[in-house]
Amino acid sequence: MKNLFEESKRYIPGGVNSPVRAFGSVGGEPIFIDRGKGSKIYDVDGKEYIDYVCSWGPLIHGHADDDIITEVERVLKKGTTFGAPTVLELELAKKVVEMVPSIEMVRMVSSGTEAVMSAIRLARGYTGRDKIIKFEGCYHGHSDSLLVKAGSGALTFGQPSSPGVPADLAKHTLIADYNDLNSVKQLFINNKNQIACVIVEPVAGNMGVVLPEEGFLSGLRDLCSNEGALLIFDEVITGFRLAPGGAQEYFNVMPDITTLGKILGGGLPVGAYGGRKEIMEKISPLGPVYQAGTLSGNPLAMAAGIANLNKLNENFYYELRKKSQYLWNGFKNNCRELKLNYAFNEIESMSCMFFTERPVKSFKDALTSDTKKYAAFFHGMLKKGINLAPSQFEAMFVSAAHTNKDLDATIKAHYEVLKELT
Ligand code: PMP
């Protein structure tokens, strides 16, 4: 396995195609994955791991789900791309409109980054304004306007803003503090009639998991409505994870535009953005805001997405919640027993244990985590065959494929590793 990383580094920057995979903040070398099935992944040496990364969220049914694979295989034989409309695109679009309350029309793209980049352009085109407000520590993909004080890998590697983003563009991205409505109000006051949109992860998942405080999301809704700005919920993580209709259904706050990715594609590259008809009609070819993609609505990705969403029903979320609660409670009990007072944020099937005793309600709170301790915890868990995200500032995901046996093994490993560390 060692040689693979060394060799990869000769051909691929850092040996990886997405930075956090390189284990930069936890040290050591990444495992190379050979295959996955259900809750498990297997590295190229054949070692088995219970996986809670789930490809960073999409695999809500676990790895290589039989129903999804069957559909992808069926469609694969008919051709992989046409660059022309297919019934599959229509079917997935209808499904999204049916499931996500604020979406009346939806456009498919190929990644979360592309979805958010396009949504921002649409918001600017629709309002005729240039400035946008985002929150420090929220990650919305790596397009230029959004790689400013970002979370996820940008935060992990200590470069939340990237060289290569022109200052002339970055100056249009205004930064507010998550869970602090006043910081948003102030920006609106200082930039009267200039703000196109506020974009937010309704549950932050890229500074670790940080929940919106009571009134934060509805406060953003009111501010945007009063100021003639659009509210964008980036539901790339929360979409189809918190509820069939995502965070907007869960918290009952409706954005103007929603961005989706991850679970929508069932493990194949898909993103989407959608919203009210009157806004979406501004997109080309109906309207003047241009956005396109050769592989957009790719048949394999659509097939995987449809099969994936078809399996999400009330009972699915009930069962997933039960499993998640069992695991989260197991972790909390472990901490109590070991007299550790670490902040633990969880909602439905996503969670994050922060190595800090301060309750984590903001980006600043998240930064008080002891990332060295997280690194030791991460490696301890990995050694015991539990795969977690190789960074403190990411989420842990439970899938429907996790069994009770997996959960018990994970709770036991969590206890043992924390005990060793204290
Ligand atoms: N938005 C959010 C909230 C995300 O978590 C991510 C990726 N983790 C993105 C956008 C970008 O998605 P992608 O990596 O598919 O481009």
Task: Quote the pTM value.
Answer: 0.97
**Pair 267, 189 in one domain:** yes
**Pair 59, 120 in one domain:** no
* 268 CA from centroid of ligand 1 (Å): 14
Confidence of residue 160 (pLDDT cuts 50, 70, 90): low
Confidence of residue 250 (pLDDT cuts 50, 70, 90): very high
| 158: pLDDT strictly greater than 70 | no
Q: What is the pLDDT of residues 261-276, one digit of tens each?
A: 999 999 999 999 999 9
**Pair 57, 92 in one domain:** no
From 206, 350, 394, give the residue whose CB has the most ligand 1 atoms within 8 Å, as the site to mutate: 206
Last-in-domain residue among 288, 310, 332: 310
CA angle (44 as vertex; 41, 48 as ends), nearest 5: 35
Task: Please give the tally of structural domains in the chain.
Answer: 2
**Pair 300, 327 in one domain:** no
ipTM (interface predicted TM): 0.99
Last-in-domain residue among 310, 341, 374: 310
Confidence of residue 33 (pLDDT cuts 50, 70, 90): very high
**Pair 175, 266 in one domain:** yes
Per-residue pLDDT, 150: 81
CATH number of the domain to which 76 belongs: 3.40.640.10
Mean pLDDT of all residues in the chain?
96
Question: Which candidate, 46, 401, 346, places its Cα nearest to that of 209?
Answer: 346
**Pair 254, 402 in one domain:** no
Q: What is the pLDDT of residues 113-156, one digit of tens each?
A: 999 999 999 999 999 999 999 999 999 999 999 988 887 777 77
Q: How far is CA 316 from CA 140, 312, 320, 399, 400, in A?
A: 28, 6, 6, 10, 8
Range of the domain at 331: 2-65+313-421
Confidence of residue 11 (pLDDT cuts 50, 70, 90): very high
Q: Which residues are catalytic?
A: 139, 234, 262
* 341 CA from centroid of ligand 1 (Å): 30
Per-residue pLDDT, 155: 73
Contact present, 108 and 302 (Cβ < 8 Å)? yes
CA–CA dist 2, 377 (Å, integer): 21
Record the tokens describing residue 18, joined without a space: 């997405």
* 68 CA from centroid of ligand 1 (Å): 22
CATH number of the domain to which 50 belongs: 3.90.1150.10
Contact present, 140 and 202 (Cβ < 8 Å)? no
Last-in-domain residue among 310, 341, 376: 310
Question: Which candidate, 95, 56, 65, places its Cα nearest to that of 302?
Answer: 95
Which helix (H) or strand (E) segment holds residue 195: the answer is strand 195-200
